[in-house]
Structure 1
């Protein structure tokens, strides 16, 4: 059955709607965007089908970084003169040199529109008090969430410079009903509440939306957060360079791509062909409303599972069960086994006795090794975790208990991998 998307009171097949929006953008960028004018030279328009789309070249972050290096400071992928832009952001730089990205008024309004869909899917309304537990710097973070919350009429409470204890106090005093943060930070607030003698179930927080790293779609992490907070946890995914492209739903078992604003593909990262049903692949996205900073067939580096089934919630848009499974650039091979840090975390989070953890890669006699450091007062949990990792990952992974508060805590994207290998192998 053809999926229909409601557009201006006309029922339009989703693919037709997407191709119409895509061709409008392609006509624009081939005239006004120097980066894509060069990249798409020789390709004929219009693009009518998925097969036509697949013939367009992929875009990589490495290209964008190189473009800004060769044409500083902004590169050629900004379609307008600088005077037309109103917002500046940059990527976090966790995987290399940060990208500098500007948005026009129209493009920033598009960001707000995408974030409204995140709120809608999570049941956030004008009656809510939305608490943003994030530092308001150049990283995109929850800037779009801030703007969209204003648009829907919710009370917005910011906490950029506050300590964790100050943030919890502010949440309680202002009857915050919705909390936004990274999964790592929301977990850290559980520790902070315990130190303060606060029962988080007694707060007004009933919904939590996390982003920035895998977590809310991982059952063990979701259970840990929802149990401690007595709130419903929702997932959200977005990228500074791409936009706020995905959200979870009432089923809470994965991510829906907002296909009214993005075209999604899942490819085999080695062959660059479409991933087979049931296989993991790399998510490729095209944004359809960000003319100030367009991205066409962008390799996100996010590893997802390619399925043909729709979500049980009834949303017909592309469904990614388990959300973002990992990052392609995070994967390492240890003794022939592909290791994703997010897979390790999903197992670690099954043990409530573990307060914090870190993955360490190291080398012994020219052989790469891995161990997991944990903070816990339960000495037996180390042995139990080691057994579980061996059974589930298929590799012996040493576990080590470290002193309390020995490992770092994070308010933004967590960095729980320490690479001490003497010769790092580029995957």
Structure 2
């Protein structure tokens, strides 16, 4: 039975509009970046409805933020308050360009921590859980937010920064960690290390693995493999960005479906080329307005994330998700990035589709994909590193080549390399490269 304690759609929309009006009041004229942007767009500083906001206010892009920070180093002009009000610094990973720097006030930080507690609660976390954080605590925002959110719930928080993978496994087991937070790739890597070091994962108490940083958490084949290797632990997907904070959590009733953390955000899905809104069931770009991050806000930010809404918010007043939520639900999680799309011989290919095929094939520990442009034709080739238990690497190669041909109607050459040849990743995996 669905939980009927969640706010209905009209209440969510009313809260979003109230927060948006407050945000605009705080921004203008204090925030130089948005004061200039809104003035140049010729739009009113007040909004009558969320629809009017979507119709009239311009998008914000990563390029704009980057150019602003270059012109006004080091933090740019997207600051609503004097610099001495800010107490937190973080930056993006820089995987798609130069890192963006982000400052937060205590109030904005608290808003994001509260949003992260919703991720943990949706995953079923309680004060009795012990959470292991299998990552180094660098300048990337998600680590710190997740740690503080787990503390706020009352969990025992176990940091894994500065430890080897072997040491992390032993600390996790010795302390009886029940929840593991890491990237999907690193969750796989830990099982590989456990096998190499003869560490029996049956001794682990992990019941939930919260994954983020990559689309893998919503890829069915990868989820199934992780759940098998981790002895039935539930995989729980989540995604966020340094620019926005935590954005989604997985539906407790529908694996592979992500709920946007509304009303903390106002979310839209647009056609990337035209910027026009898309209907439910169509794949488009996620656009977010951070309603509570007043110190360093984003209005209609083009995230670059490709998603497929199951329902548009305006259509779900009386059709809640099976879990009871009325928030925007995204089928398949984050499907990829707008700039990730590869068109090979007329076939649209996303990295997530390639990974799903590889993981479904089995017996693959790691892989790398090369995209080459020769004679004006885009070609893919794949290197795989079979697992140590794989008895027939050539058979895996043949199965994969056949699976790619069936899925994409084109030939993708696959070669097997020796164990330990391909790189391993703790953070976001970089498995795709371009040549030519």
Q: TM-score range by the shorter chain?
A: over 0.9
1:85 positional shift: 1.0
Match of 2:357 among 347, 357, 380: 347
Name the counterpart of 2:245.
Answer: 243
Match of 1:284 among 261, 284, 287: 287
Output the CA distance in 2 between the equivalents of 1:12 and 1:324. 26
For 1:180-219, list aligned pairs within 5 A: 180-219=181-220
Name the counterpart of 2:330.
Answer: 320
* 1:401 and 2:416 aligned: yes
1:198 positional shift: 2.3
Match of 2:384 among 367, 374, 383: 374
Output the CA distance in 1 between the equivalents of 2:309 and 2:327. 13
Give unmatched runs, 5+ long, in structure 2. none
Aligned-residue RMSD, C-alpha: 1.7
SS at structure 1 position matched to 2:209: strand
Q: 1:110 to 1:400 in 2, by over 3 A?
A: same
Instruction: Tell whether the 8 Å contact from 1:134 to 1:141 is kept in structure 2 after alignment.
Output: no
Instruction: Tell whether the 8 Å contact from 2:6 to 2:325 is kept in structure 1 after alignment.
Output: no
* 1:257 and 2:272 aligned: no
1:44 positional shift: 1.5
Match of 1:304 among 298, 307, 313: 307
Output the CA distance in 2 between the equivalents of 1:384 and 1:197. 29
SS at structure 2 position matched to 1:292: coil
Name the counterpart of 2:120.
Answer: 119
Instruction: Tell whether the 8 Å contact from 1:201 to 1:228 is kept in structure 2 after alignment.
Output: no
Output the CA distance in 1 between the equivalents of 2:420 and 2:325. 43
Output the CA distance in 1 between the equivalents of 2:310 and 2:45. 30
Q: Which of the pair has the greater relative contact order for Cα pairs under 8 Å at 6+ separation?
A: 2
Output the CA distance in 1 between the equivalents of 2:200 and 2:234. 16
1:12 positional shift: 6.0
Report runs of 4+ in structure 1 exceeding 6 Å deviation: none
Bigger Cα displacement from structure 2, 308-317 vs 72-81: 308-317
Instruction: Tell whether the 8 Å contact from 1:88 to 1:100 is kept in structure 2 after alignment.
Output: yes
Instruction: Tell whether the 8 Å contact from 2:6 to 2:324 is kept in structure 1 after alignment.
Output: no
Deviations 1:225-268 (Å, cap 9, x if unpaired)?
11111201101110000110100122222100011200110000
SS at structure 2 position matched to 1:357: strand
Instruction: Tell whether the 8 Å contact from 2:87 to 2:106 is kept in structure 1 after alignment.
Output: yes
Output the CA distance in 1 between the equivalents of 2:30 and 2:201. 52
Name the counterpart of 2:15.
Answer: 17
Give unmatched runs, 5+ long, in structure 1. 423-427
Output the CA distance in 2 between the equivalents of 1:383 and 1:50. 53
Name the counterpart of 1:425.
Answer: none
Output the CA distance in 2 between the equivalents of 1:347 and 1:6. 38
Output the CA distance in 2 between the equivalents of 1:394 and 1:188. 31
TM-score by length of structure 2 reads 0.92
Instruction: Tell whether the 8 Å contact from 1:275 to 1:306 is kept in structure 2 after alignment.
Output: no
Name the counterpart of 1:410.
Answer: 425
1:4 positional shift: 9.5
Q: How many residues align?
A: 416
1:154 positional shift: 0.7
* 1:164 and 2:179 aligned: no
Name the counterpart of 1:330.
Answer: 340
SS at structure 1 position matched to 2:247: strand
Name the counterpart of 1:149.
Answer: 150
Deviations 1:192-228 (Å, cap 9, x if unpaired)?
1111222323311111100001112111111011111
Name the counterpart of 1:232.
Answer: 234
